[in-house]
Amino acid sequence: MNTTTLSRWRNLGIIAHIDAGKTTLTERLLYASGAIHRVGEVHDGAATTDFSEIERKRGITIGAAAVRIDWTPPGEAPHRLSLIDTPGHIDFAIEVERSLRVLDGAVAVFSAVDGVQPQSETVWRQAQRHGVPRIAFVNKMDRAGADFDRTLAQLREKLDANPWPLGIPLGSEAAFDGWVDLVDRSVLRWTDDGDTVRHPWGDDEATRYADARARLIEAVAGHDESLADAWLAERAIDDAMLRAAIRRGTLAGLGVPVLAGSAIRNKGIVTLLDAIVHYLPSPLDRPATSAVRDGIETRLPADPAGPLAALVFKIAHHAHGPVTYVRVYSGTLRVGATVWCSRQDRARRIGRLAIVQAARTHDVDEAVAGEIVAILGWKDAVSGETLSADDMRLVLDSIQAQPAVLSWR
């Protein structure tokens, strides 16, 4: 394990108002990445991330589960994405807080028809408070009344965000079928069976879209010195330079890259996967975690060789038994090791560790800093507790729901 590998990990959540399309989008991301081979019908409760019986019945995702997928953007190294399912329902405020605590970045899904709705506003602000960098996906572009520009305006007005549209949607409503990529200067067309046809801009397109690209560059350069220098010196801004500046700005919370698509019609899904890799942080990009030992605060960077510190953020009940979801912040969690549990104040042995990939789990021997993993077989685990070495006894900073901010009409 080395830092090059860690830099290719993304732990992310998908946050949205109920009905914006989070479940559909999650499933399409799994499908596009090859993690599942068939897309189920979301409305009958068969979606892959809806694990528990109660979730199936209620048709909403009430708990956060983590699903791992692999993704390789064109011409790049393979990346590993953990999708952490963030509950959208307000009754589960503490779970929302907990899942925001363990993810490094988020995709905020908005409906192009309904725009910024109250719950997305709430979760957006929670994510902001946790310093979680975000990209926005404007979904349902195929629906009557879809309006990309209006959604951008609402991002500005309702969320005080600084949206950076990374492209221009082509075709509207039922005829929505493409995207002008302003970063890499290509045009994408989506066929009805979900394929993407992409071609680089010709002279004609370079002329037609030059102004839109210039506006994006200007917006980003307003927050990025090296891009501003190149822009002011009238140097050509290549794709890599622009992408790097957008990444810096996104990680610093200065702007929000915005994409558009239609989850149900498989449009914009691959573009979103690429954007997750390009603009959301790896565990190494995040600030060191603070932990307390004997009343003294220490900072723990994401180092597999550091002292073990892991947080239990979700207990799920699968058909095959309880699953304890954990994020490792520092050190390495190993099968066979005995760890101290901060809340239960006792030592426990790690019997089995597993990675959840869509509907399957597979056993692993260890999980390193930055990784999300499931402990299998722990009967009475407690959410929110820290796991550390018995002779270290660390406590990661506690998570508190903030009711004043969480209430909405």
Are 110 and 16 in contact, with CB atoms under 8 Å apart? Answer: yes
Our CB check for ligand GDP shows the closer of 173 and 285 to be 173
Give least dist CB 373 to ligand GDP, A: 25
Return the H-helix or E-strand segment holding 346: strand 346-349
- Applying CB under 6 A, among 94, 244, 264, 401 the residue interacting with ligand GDP is 264
- Number of neighbouring beta carbons within 10 Å of residue 348: 17
Could you give the CA distance from residue 232 to residue 221 in angstroms, rounded to a whole number? 9
Tell me if 107 contacts ligand GDP by CB under 6 A: no
By 3-state DSSP, what share of the chain in percent is helix, strand and coil, each rounded to 5? Answer: 30, 30, 40
Tell me if 22 contacts ligand GDP by CB under 6 A: yes
Q: Could you tell me which stretch among 134-142, 223-231, 293-301, 326-334 binds ligand GDP (CB under 6 A)? A: 134-142
Could you give the CA distance from residue 157 to residue 324 in angstroms, rounded to a whole number? 39
Tell me if 173 contacts ligand GDP by CB under 6 A: no
Our CB check for ligand GDP shows the closer of 59 and 73 to be 59
Q: Alpha carbon 13 to chain centroid distance?
A: 4
Tell me if 262 contacts ligand GDP by CB under 6 A: yes
Tell me if 18 contacts ligand GDP by CB under 6 A: yes
Could you give the CA distance from residue 270 to residue 266 in angstroms, rounded to a whole number? 9
Give least dist CB 65 to ligand GDP, A: 14
Tell me if 19 contacts ligand GDP by CB under 6 A: yes
Our CB check for ligand GDP shows the closer of 265 and 286 to be 265
Q: Alpha carbon 203 to chain centroid distance?
A: 36
**Which residue's entry shows tokens 């393979």?**
78
Give least dist CB 258 to ligand GDP, A: 16
> Which residues, other chains included, contact 225 with Cβ-Cβ below 8 Å and sequence gap of 6+?
none
Reading the block at residue 160, the tokens are: 């005080």
Give least dist CB 48 to ligand GDP, A: 12
Q: Could you tell me which stretch among 18-26, 125-133, 149-157, 283-291 binds ligand GDP (CB under 6 A)? A: 18-26
Tell me if 62 contacts ligand GDP by CB under 6 A: no
Mask: binding to ligand GDP, 295-324, rule CB under 6 A, as x and -?
A: ------------------------------
Could you give the CA distance from residue 103 to residue 87 in angstroms, rounded to a whole number? 13
Return the H-helix or E-strand segment holding 208: helix 203-221
Q: Could you tell me which stretch among 93-101, 135-143, 220-228, 378-386 binds ligand GDP (CB under 6 A)? A: 135-143
Could you give the CA distance from residue 105 to residue 250 in angstroms, rounded to a whole number? 10
Give least dist CB 293 to ligand GDP, A: 40
- Applying CB under 6 A, among 11, 12, 21, 289 the residue interacting with ligand GDP is 21
Q: How far, in Å, are 233, 261, 382 from residue 141 at the CA level?
A: 38, 6, 41
Give least dist CB 30 to ligand GDP, A: 13
Mask: binding to ligand GDP, 137-156, rule CB under 6 A, as x and -?
A: --xx-xx-------------
Are 348 and 337 in contact, with CB atoms under 8 Å apart? Answer: no
Could you give the CA distance from residue 98 to residue 64 in angstroms, rounded to a whole number? 9
> Which residues, other chains included, contact 151 with Cβ-Cβ below 8 Å and sequence gap of 6+?
110, 112, 115, 116, 138
- Applying CB under 6 A, among 15, 32, 39, 42 the residue interacting with ligand GDP is 42
Our CB check for ligand GDP shows the closer of 55 and 181 to be 55
Residues touching ligand GDP: how many (CB under 6 A)? 17
> Which residues contact ligand GDP (rule: CB under 6 A)?
16, 18-24, 42-43, 139-140, 142-143, 262-264
